[in-house]
Amino acid sequence: MGSFPSNYYDFFGLEHRLVLDLQDLEKKFYALSRQYHPDLYTLKGQEEQQHALDATAILNDAYGTLRDPLARAEYLLKVNGFDIGEQGSKNVPPELLEEVFELNMALEELRGGDESARQSLEDARNKFTGMRDAIDTELAAKFREYDGSRARSVLEEIRGILNRRRYVRNLVNEVEKELTGAAA
Amino acid sequence: MTPLEIDFGKQERVVGIDLGTTNSLVAYMDAAGHPSVIPGEDGDKLVPSVVTVTQKGEIVVGNKARAALIDEPDRTVYSIKRLMGRGVADVQEELKLFPFRVAEGSESVIRIQLGDRTFTPPEISAFILRQLKRNAEAFLGEPVSKAVVTVPAYFNDAQRQATKDAGRIAGLEVLRLVNEPTAAALAYGLDKRREGIIAVYDLGGGTFDISILKLHDGIFEVLATNGDTHLGGDDIDNRLIHIALEDIHSEWGKNISHYGEAVQTLRRAVIDAKERLSFAPATNIELNYKGKQYQREITRELFEKLIADIVDRTLGPCRACIKDAGVTVEQIDEVVLVGGSTRIPMVRSAVETLFRAKPHTDLNPDEVVALGAAVQAGILSGTVENQLLLDVTPLSLGIETMGGVVSKLIHRNSTIPASATETFTTAVDGQRNVLIHVLQGERELVKDNRSLARFDLKDIDPLPAGMARIEVRFLIDANGILNVTARDARTGKEQSVEIKPSYGLTDEQVEAMISESIDRAEEDFNARQVAEARVEADRILAAVDKAKQNDAYLDLTDEERGEITKALNELLVVYHSDDHLLIRAKIDQLNNVTMKLAENMMNTAVSSALKGTKI
C-alpha cells in the first residue's frame, strides 16, 4: 500500500509532455492495472480494498485523459492554472463568421424541405472536416513546440486553438446530424 | 469445520452464477483449474428461472416450477429479470406481454402476487440464487457463501443494485457483478489464449448486449459496450404466441389470451417450434387444450419475416459499439456468440453480414457466461492468476443542472472504477441542504434520462450564499454501481449524504427482507436442518476418505481403525433418515474417533514443514 500521486502524469511516472507514445502508455496502464485493480484485493481487508478502488479510479481516469490528445492538452492546461470552460467554444471565431452564416442558411433551407441545400451542406461538411484536420496538424506542431520550450505562451496559444477546434467540431456534428437525420 | 478438514491457507470457494432471464446456472473452478457447470439435484445443468409458491406455501424453483407454470400459473412467475430495478411506470409495455401479476400498492418498487403472498423482483431472484447455492453446496459438499454474479452489460445502476440485493437476501456475498459478454470473453479467451480484438454478441432470453474487447497477455480490456435490456428470445416467443392466439380466436371462436393455463401451454409449444426451426425448414405449432386441437405449420421463411425487426434491432447497438470502440469492422478478429437466441440461423447470418466474419459457435452459448463467471471467481479468490478484466460503464452518468439539462460527469465506456469530483455551493444565505439529482443516460434533457437517485447534502454550516464549498465525489465501482461521498472543502470534514434511490429498495428494506427470509426459513426448519446435517456429513465422510490415504492412518492400531470404520458405517446408515439430531450425533461420534488421526496428521504436517520438505 502507500499513497499514490493524484496528478495523472505523475501517476504514470511520465514527464509533463504533450506528445506521448501511446503504446508505451498502454503498456504502463496494463502494468499499473495489474498492481492496483480491486479484483486483486477482494479478499483483503476493508482498508486495502478502498485503497485499490481509489487508486484504480485515478488510474482509469488518468488513462482515459492522457490517451486522448485533446483531453490530455486540456488537462495540462488545467493543472497549469488555465481556465478551460466550455465558454470559449460559444464565441464564433471571427475568421469563421462568413462560413457559419452560409451554413446556417443552408441548414434552414434543408429543414424547410429544400433538397437542393443538401449539396451545399455536404460541401460545408467537407470544408469543416478539412478545417478540423488542419487544426489537428497545427495542434500537433504546437505540442512539439511546448515539449521543447515548456513556454507558458505556447500553452496560451494551444488554449486558443482548442477553443477553435471545439467550435468547428460542433459545426461538423451539427451538419452530420442534419445530413444523416434527413437521409433517414 | 471438522478437525480433519484443517487445511492451512485454504480459501473459501467462490462460485460463479449466471442469473438469466430464462435459465440460471452455477459454475466453479475444478481441481484441474477448468471452469465447470454444477448440475442440480435432477442432473440438469440449466435451472429454469421459474419460481412457484405451492399451496402449502413452499417455494419451488427450476424444472419443477416450470411444470407449475402450466398447472398453477397464478402461483408461478418466470422472466422476473425483466422487472429487476424498474418502477411500475417503466414496465407497462412489459405487462401487456407477460403475465406478471403486479400486486396493488406497487409504486417505486414492484411487488408480484404469487398465490396469497407478494414478493419484490429481488426476492424472487433470491429464491433462484438460493436454489443455485444449495445445488453448489450439495455438489461440493461444503458451504458456499460467496459468489460472482453476472448481469447484462447494459444494465443500469438500479438493475445492478437490485441484483446485488437479491444476492444479499439469498445469503450470498456478491463479490463482484460481471457483465455477461465480458464473462463470456473470459471463458473463451482463457481456453484459447487468444490475442486481438473480439466482439461478443449476446442475445439471451430477455436482454441483448454487444461488447468489443481487446485481449492482450491475459488482460481483457473492454473497449465499448452497448445493448438493449429488453430485447431477447422472449420477444420472439411473443410474436409466435400472438399469431397463434389470433388463429385460435378465429378457428375456435374464442379468445383464450386471458386463460393463463392455455397461454402457458401455448408458450411451451411455440418455444419448441422455435427451437426446431433452427434445424428444420418447417415445423408445426401444436396445442391441445381441453379436448380442442390447434395446429399450424410455420416455415422458416415465415418465422424470419416475423422476427426480422427484432433481429434488426440488435444491429444499431452493434454499429454504435464498433464506433465507440474506435475500431473498424476489419480490425475485429473474431465474433463470439452467446445466449440461446444465437442458435437462430437468421441471427447468425445477420451477425456474419455485419461483422464480415463467421461467428464462433464452439462454446455452448447457454453455459459460456456461467463458465466465465467461475473464471472471474477464480481471479478474485486468487486461484486463477495472470488474468485481469478491465470493464467499462455502459451509460454516462450526469447531474441535473439549471433548466432541466444534464451535465455529464462520467462518460459511457469509461473504464471502471471511474470517478469525477464536483464542487457544489449554496444559493441562499444560511442554506443547510443541497439536493443533487443523479441520472444515467446519453440524452441532453433530464426527462429523457434515467433518474438514479437524489442525494441530499445535509447539515451544511450556515454561511452567506455561495460561500459553502461541498466537494462531491461520484465513483462508479468495479460492479458498475455508483457510490457518492461528500466533504466540506473548507473544513475537510466529511459531509453527510442521504440517498433516496429513484427505483429499487432502500438499505432498510433489504435488511427487512433478509430477516424475513430467515423467519420464513424457520417454517421448514426441520427440512433445512436435515439438509445441512447431510452437507456436514458429506464433508466429514470425504475428509475421512482422504485421511485414509495418509500414512498417519496406517500408524493407528487395528482397534482404532475398527472404531473409525464402525462410526463411518453408522453415519452412512442414518444419513438418509429425516432426523437431523441423529445424523449430528453420528457425525460427532465419527469426529471423536478420528481425533487422534487428525492430530497425527497435523504433527506429520508440522514436522515435515520444519524439515522443509513439501507435503
> Are A61 and A96 found together in one domain?
no
Among B27, B313, B412, residue whose Cα is nearest residue B187: B27
Asked if A100 and A178 sit in the same domain, the reply is yes
Residue A97 lies in a domain: yes
Same domain, residue pair A149 and A94 = yes
Q: What is the 3-state secondary structure (H, E, C) of B446-497?
A: HHHCEEEEEEEECCCCCCCCCCCCEEEEEEECCCCCEEEEEEECCCCCEECE
A57 to chain B: which residues are within 8 Å by CB? 417-419, 475
The DSSP element (H or E) to which B17 belongs, if any, is strand B14-19
Q: Are A97 and A43 in a shared domain?
A: no
Contacting residues of B for A55, CB less than 8 Å apart:
none
> Residue A127 falls within a domain, yes or no?
yes
Neighbours of B503 (CB within 10 A): 24
Which range is least confidently modeled, B58-67, B266-275, B490-499? B490-499
Question: Looking at chain B, which residues constitute the CATH 3.30.420.40 domain(s)?
Answer: 14-231+315-390
B217 near A CB under 8 A:
yes
Q: Are residues B418 and A61, on separate chains, in Cβ contact within 8 Å?
A: yes
Give the number of A-B residue pairs with CB atoms closer than 8 Å: 55
B258 within 8 A of B265, measured Cβ to Cβ? no
* A80 occurs within a structural domain: no
Helix (H) or strand (E) holding A176: helix A152-183
- Segment B36-44 shows an average pLDDT of 91
Could you tell me if A44 lies within 8 Å of chain B, comparing CB atoms? no
The CATH 2.60.34.10 domain(s) of chain B lie at 397-505
**Is residue B130 a contact partner of residue B171, using CB atoms and an 8 Å limit?**
yes
Q: What is the pLDDT along chain A (184 residues), one digit of tens a residue?
A: 567 888 999 999 999 999 999 999 999 999 999 999 999 999 888 999 999 999 999 999 999 999 999 999 999 999 998 877 655 555 667 777 777 777 777 778 777 777 777 787 888 888 888 989 999 999 999 999 999 999 999 999 999 899 888 888 888 888 887 777 644 3
Q: What pLDDT, on a 0 to 100 scale, did the predictor assign at position B346?
A: 95
Nearest to A39 among B217, B379, B419 (CB): B379
User: Does residue A106 sit in the same domain as residue A169?
Assistant: yes
ipTM (interface predicted TM):
0.86
| Co-location of A96 and A156 in the same domain | yes
Domains held by chain A: number: 2
> Is residue A77 situated within a structural domain?
no
CB contact under 8 A, B417 and A42: no
| C-beta separation of B149 from B132 below 8 A | no
Q: Are residues A48 and A128 in the same domain?
A: no
Q: Which three cell numbers stand for residue B335?
A: 465474433
HEC sequence for B374-436: HHHHHHHHCCCCCCEEECECCCCEEEEEHHHEEEEEECCCCECCEEEEEEECCCCCCCCCEEE
Q: Which of A43, A50, A75 would you mutate first to test chain B, the one with the most B CBs within 10 A?
A: A43
Kindly list the residues from chain A whose CB atom is less than 8 angstroms away from the CB atom of residue B219.
30, 33-34
Whether residue B390 lies within 8 A of chain A, CB to CB, comes out as yes
Cα torsion B539, B542, B543, B544: sign? positive
Q: Do residues A109 and A174 share a domain?
A: yes
Q: How many CB atoms lie within 10 A of CB B351?
A: 24
Q: Are residues A40 and A103 in the same domain?
A: no
What are the grid coordinates assigned to B327, written together?
A: 475500431
For B233-310, CATH number out of 3.30.70.1290, 3.10.560.10, 3.90.640.10, 3.30.360.10 equals 3.90.640.10
How many helices (H) and strands (E) in chain A?
8, 0
Contact: A43, B379; criterion CB under 8 Å: no
**Which of B379, B380, B417 shows the shortest C-beta gap to A60?**
B417
Question: How many angstroms away from the CA of A148 is the closest CA of chain B?
Answer: 30
Q: Is A101 on the interface with B (CB under 8 A)?
A: no
C-beta separation of B112 from B101 below 8 A: yes
d(CA B247, CA B254): 10
> What is the phi/psi pair of residue B292, to 5°?
-100, 150
Domain span(s) for CATH 3.90.640.10 in chain B: 233-310
Contacts of A61 in chain B (CB under 8 A): 414, 418-420
Whether B415 and chain A come into contact, CB under 8 Å, resolves to: yes
Closest CA to B98 of B115, B119, B111, B82: B82
User: Could you say which of 3.40.50.150, 3.30.420.40, 2.10.109.10, 3.40.50.740 is the CATH number of the domain covering B14-231+315-390?
Assistant: 3.30.420.40
Beta bridge partners of B419: B475
In the predicted model, what is the mean pLDDT of residues B448-472?
Answer: 87
Same domain, A118 and A164: yes
Coil vs helix vs strand at B286: strand
Provide the grid cell at B366.
Answer: 447457454
For residues A97 and A142, state if they share a domain: yes
Task: Give this prediction's pTM.
Answer: 0.81
Grid cell, residue B377, equals 471467481
Answer whether B419 touches A (CB < 8 Å): yes
Dmax (CA) for chain A in angstroms is 67
pLDDT score of A91: 63
Query: pLDDT tens digits for B525-560?
Result: 566 677 778 888 888 888 888 888 888 888 888 899
Radius of gyration for chain A, computed over Cα atoms and rounded to the nearest angstrom: 21
Please indicate, yes or no, if residue A15 is contained in any of the structural domains.
yes
Q: Is the pLDDT of residue B421 over 80?
A: yes
Crossing angle for the helix pair B580-593 and B525-547, to the nearest 10 degrees = 20
Domain B522-610 matching CATH 1.10.3720.10: the answer reads no
What cell was used for A48? 486495502
B10: its cell numbers: 485454504
Q: Are residues A97 and A174 in the same domain?
A: yes
Residue A26, domain extent: 8-67
β-pairing verdict for B292-299 and B405-410? unpaired
Q: Chain B residue closest to A31 (CA)? A: B219
Whether residue A175 lies inside any domain: the answer is: yes
For every residue of B358-374, which 3-state class applies, written as one string? CCECCCCCCCHHHHHHH
**In 3D, which of B291, B296, B284 has the Cα closest to residue B245?**
B296
The CATH number of domain B397-505, selected from 2.10.240.10, 3.40.1190.20, 3.40.50.2300, 2.60.34.10: 2.60.34.10
Residues of B belonging to the active site: 18, 81, 180, 202
CATH number for A38: 1.10.287.110
Q: Which helix (H) or strand (E) holds B270?
A: helix B260-277
Provide CATH 1.20.1270.10 ranges for chain B: 522-610
Mean pLDDT, chain B, rounded, equals 87
Instruction: Check CB contact of B351 with chain A, cutoff 8 Å.
Output: no
Residue B207: which of B45, B51, B81 has the closest Cα? B81
pLDDT in tens, B298-311: 999 999 999 999 99
